[in-house]
Amino acid sequence: MKASKLLMPTLREAPAEAEIASHVLMMRAGLISKLAAGVYSYLPLGLRVLQNTERIIREEMNKAGAQELLMSALLPAECYQKSGRWDRFGDDMFRLKDRNSRDFCLGPTHEEIFTQTVIDSVHSYKDYPYTLYQIQTKYRDERRPRFGVMRTREFLMKDAYSFDISREGLDESYKAMYDAYRKTFDRMGLNYMIVDADTGAMGGSGSQEFMVISDVGEDTIAYCEDCRYSANIEKAVCITGEADNSEMLPMNKVATPDAKTIEEVAAFFGKEAKDFVKTMIYNAEGKLYAVLVRGDREINEVKLANKLGVGEVALADPADVVEVTNAKVGFAGPVGLKIDIVADNEVMKMRNFIVGANETDCHIENVNPERDFTAAIVDDIRNIEDGDICPVCGKQIKTAQGIEVGHIFKLGTKYSEALGLNYVDEKGEENPVIMGCYGIGINRCVAAIIEQNNDEAGIIWPMDVAPYKAVVVPVNVKDETQLSLAEKITKELEDAGVEVIIDDRDERPGVKFKDWDLIGIPVRITVGKKASEGIVEYKLRAEKEYTDMTAEDAVKTALSLIKK
């Protein structure tokens, strides 16, 4: 490929909205261009990377015995209505009507459609198990599309679904996907962690996420270096310390006129945040709850929603807070409150803490759960934190940020029951088929690879995903000797099956080198003044130094690396 012909609009500066390395570099290297929030086009170099990423996934899926098929992105409403997700997806789903006013959506994920396909195509229990997959475009009207292709409204997903007729069968299908995912992400050169994940409203018996460790990750992972426990904080179990057995002191209402923030109130009492209990009023699908955690803790809304058996919870509107507490926002407390109280386990072990008084500018001190209020639900509803106790071995938990690139999930019979995917067993009895689902976000993988493989000059592609494997740069294209040696090297590499670029542009060498460093081509062969002696410079993008060698050796060295 000639660089002079390649559509590669490299930029000196990325647009201001690009906050993270992968977004900045994908824009600057001319891999993508933006059309709307969370909607991108892939330019030639970007598409090659995407296709390489896809190829790795496809190869590992096929090796694991999964069969590829392809479903439409335009889907009739009926299947999603049967499973209840037509409503549950809410605004995340792109909906449209056809000319006859029939409801359709652009598929956000395809559990229902695969289930329906198996209903239509498999008739005997003897045919199971199956693992089916597709690499296909998904649509989700995300609340906050951001970070370039990390979270978009249109994205490519590899989604696989397994269909078994026994729990053991599901375990095997799941294990095959687990192993395939490990090989896939290893080949992408990613440093990742496999963590226990929330199964939430989907039910199911087990689920794990593949998390690429990165400061820009939107998920928080709790892990233990001693016993290797690791979980998404949505799932990580919080262990509460010893109960405080101090004597219960008399409750006392205190006016706290000028103190607004928890720090100000703490300073007023001469106490710390952990001596308080925070009361947050939540709306769980129309019902209000008062939710209690220790003053220095954070409520985990996923845990909370699961315990309340709803899909989502949100902080209540200020007007609702005022109505239930009879006070301005900021003074809620559990004592005398008329709505149900949900208390974190830890709160129940505390003594003599401070809470809001349900009265503007007032707090109550020396509150004790066993004496002063009744919690309807007591459970683990807080975020685990650095330094907390590991729920498995008792040592210390650490936390890190992760980018979720893949998710595997033992679904069970949720969709087979909802849609009627049954098999008739040997005894003539009908049973629901047992399912698993397995997703990889392909565009997000590309962004994650860049997050972990870049430097101040640009991207450093792992060989398997690089858009081109080598670039040959004649320093002066007007010099016949240089150009012809560069062309010879390029041809030899091409003939050996290497995807190679020759930089035939009449530009200063510095400009050319900058572009290839930014784009991240793994091997660069520079043909300069020593071309007359048959000597070239061989340099790897990942290394600082170059080596002088004969053109033949450069080709050989490149081939041994690329064809490995």
The residues that touch ligand ATP, with contacts defined as CB under 6 A, are 109, 140, 142, 151-152, 155, 157, 404-407, 439, 441, 443-444
Q: CB nearest ligand ATP: which residue?
A: 441
CB of 301 to ligand ATP, least distance (A): 13
DSSP 389: B
- Longest Cα–Cα distance of the chain, Å, equals 95
Contact 87, 417 (CB under 8 A): no
Comparing CB distances to ligand ATP, the nearer of 192 and 229 is 192
52 SS3 class: helix
Task: Report the nearest approach of ligand ATP to the CB of residue 390 (Å).
Answer: 24
Tell the smallest beta-carbon distance from residue 534 to ligand ATP (Å).
48
Nearer to ligand ATP, 152 or 490 (CB): 152
The enclosing H or E element of 370 equals helix 369-372
**Concatenated DSSP letters for 119-131?**
HHH---GGG--EE
Cα 103 to the center of its chain, rounded Å: 30
Nearest approach, Cβ of residue 469 and ligand ATP (Å) = 26
β-strand 67-68 against 94-97: which pairing, if any?
unpaired
Q: Are 112 and 80 in contact (CB under 8 A)?
A: yes
Is residue 106 a contact partner of residue 76, using CB atoms and an 8 Å limit?
no
Nearest 10 degrees: Cα torsion 340, 346, 351, 353: -70
Q: Are 362 and 256 in contact (CB under 8 A)?
A: yes
Q: Whole-number minimum distance, CB 54 to ligand ATP, in Å?
A: 13
Which is nearer to ligand ATP, 115 or 526 (by Cβ)?
A: 115
- For 419, the 3-state DSSP assignment is helix
Closer residue to ligand ATP, CB minimum distance, 26 or 558: 26
The single residue listed with the structure tokens 């605004």 is 91
Closer to ligand ATP by Cβ: residue 140 or 187: 140
Nearer to ligand ATP, 148 or 356 (CB): 148
Q: How far is the CB of 394 from ligand ATP (least distance, A)?
A: 30
* 3-state SS class at 105: strand
If the CB atoms of residues 109 and 401 are measured against ligand ATP, the closer one turns out to be: 109
Minimum distance from CB of 440 to ligand ATP (Å)?
6
Would you say 439 or 522 has its CB closer to ligand ATP? 439
CA distances from 2 to 92, 292, 529 (A): 43, 64, 21
- DSSP states along 452-514: HSEETTEE---GGG-SSSEEEEES-TT-HHHHHHHHHHHHHHHHTT--EEE----S-HHHHHH
Element containing residue 212 per DSSP (H, E): strand 206-213
Nearer to ligand ATP among residue 208 and residue 279 (C-beta): 208
User: Minimum distance between the CB of residue 137 and ligand ATP, rounded to whole angstroms?
Assistant: 11
Smallest gap from Cβ 290 to ligand ATP, in A, equals 28
- Which residues have a Cβ under 8 Å from the Cβ of 100 and sit 6 or more positions away? none
